[in-house]
């Protein structure tokens, strides 16, 4: 919930007037530009991967900032440094970190916002596109917001400040985007654990299969063969034949509630003794 709130407060609801994307093209993040969303889905669905992610997050976050004065500093009107750290630690455990940085008139950093890493994409001209609906089936292009890369240089800061007051807009800020670059992944990170995607998907499906088996009372197949002639016509005082009693006993051995599916031989008893078998639904 905090991550979603941060997304709303930083992009696009930071109220900055977005730049035009122009001729710039988005550098796709995986097939269909949906890789971080797919990674999130698989990691969170796997009990093992989720626990690993949480453990890494706690390790990175630790007990917050060692300097308690720094921890209490308000990095934006709503959050202190210690409020933003858990969000950054969660992203950093798998991807990297993304921040929206704003400046005051003295060219000093005045506000910093967490931006969910999976909502940011690079443009081929060096800028960034931010949209909370990126990589989803409900992508809304009208929520695209284009921001410059973090650059404390005076000219870059002036471009941010110049947008203040245009049509009542506030400063959009810049995007600080950090991850461990490699030659294999120069634009976006791909967690090493993603190589075990199949294992994680299996880890997520096994509990579902177990639950299904329990609910459906699926049991191993079994066969029961009874030699000799068994009376299935003469009923006792309870209205049961010898065959009924054997059938009831066999069901109790495998399924106390009698929900098993049964099939019987249809051959005449003179040529083949009566038999039964249980089949798995």
pLDDT tens for each residue of the chain, 281 residues long:
333 333 333 433 334 455 777 788 999 999 999 999 999 999 999 999 999 999 999 999 988 888 889 889 999 999 999 999 999 999 999 999 999 999 999 999 999 999 999 999 999 999 999 999 998 888 888 888 999 999 999 999 998 888 776 655 678 899 999 999 989 999 999 999 999 999 999 998 888 877 777 776 655 556 667 777 888 888 998 899 988 888 787 766 655 554 555 555 544 444 444 444 444 44
Please say whether the beta carbons of 163 and 169 come within 8 A.
yes
Specify the pLDDT at position 11. Answer: 36
What is the pTM (predicted TM-score) of this model? 0.67
Closest CA to 16 of 168, 186, 196: 168
- Residue-wise burial string across 244-275, b where 16 or more C-beta atoms lie within 10 A, e elsewhere: bebbeebbeebeeeeebeeeeeeeeeeeeebb
């Amino acid at each position: 919930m905090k991550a979603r709130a941060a997304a709303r407060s930083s992009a696009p609801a930071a109220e900055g007037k977005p730049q035009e994307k122009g001729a710039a093209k988005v550098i796709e993040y995986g097939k269909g530009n949906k890789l971080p969303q797919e990674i999130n889905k698989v990691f969170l669905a796997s009990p093992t991967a989720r626990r690993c992610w949480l453990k890494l997050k706690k390790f990175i976050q630790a007990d917050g900032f060692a300097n308690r004065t720094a921890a209490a500093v308000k990095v934006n009107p709503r959050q202190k440094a210690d409020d933003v750290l858990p969000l950054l630690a969660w992203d950093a455990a798998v991807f990297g970190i993304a921040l929206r940085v704003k400046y005051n008139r003295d060219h000093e950093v005045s506000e910093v916002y967490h931006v969910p890493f999976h909502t940011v994409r690079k443009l081929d001209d060096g800028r960034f596109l931010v949209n909370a609906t990126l990589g989803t089936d409900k992508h809304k292009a009208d929520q695209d917001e284009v921001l410059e890369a973090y650059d404390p240089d005076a000219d870059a800061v002036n471009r941010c400040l110049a947008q203040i007051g245009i049509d009542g807009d506030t400063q959009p800020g810049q995007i600080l985007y950090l991850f461990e670059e490699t030659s294999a992944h120069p634009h976006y990170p791909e967690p090493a654990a993603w190589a075990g995607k199949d294992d994680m998907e299996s880890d997520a499906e096994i509990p579902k299969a177990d639950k299904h088996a329990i609910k459906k009372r699926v049991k191993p197949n079994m066969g029961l063969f009874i030699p000799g002639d068994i009376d299935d016509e003469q009923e006792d005082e309870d209205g049961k034949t010898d065959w009924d009693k054997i059938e009831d006993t066999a069901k109790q051995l495998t399924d106390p509630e009698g929900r098993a599916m049964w099939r019987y031989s249809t051959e005449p008893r003179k040529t083949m003794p009566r038999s039964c078998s249980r089949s798995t639904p």
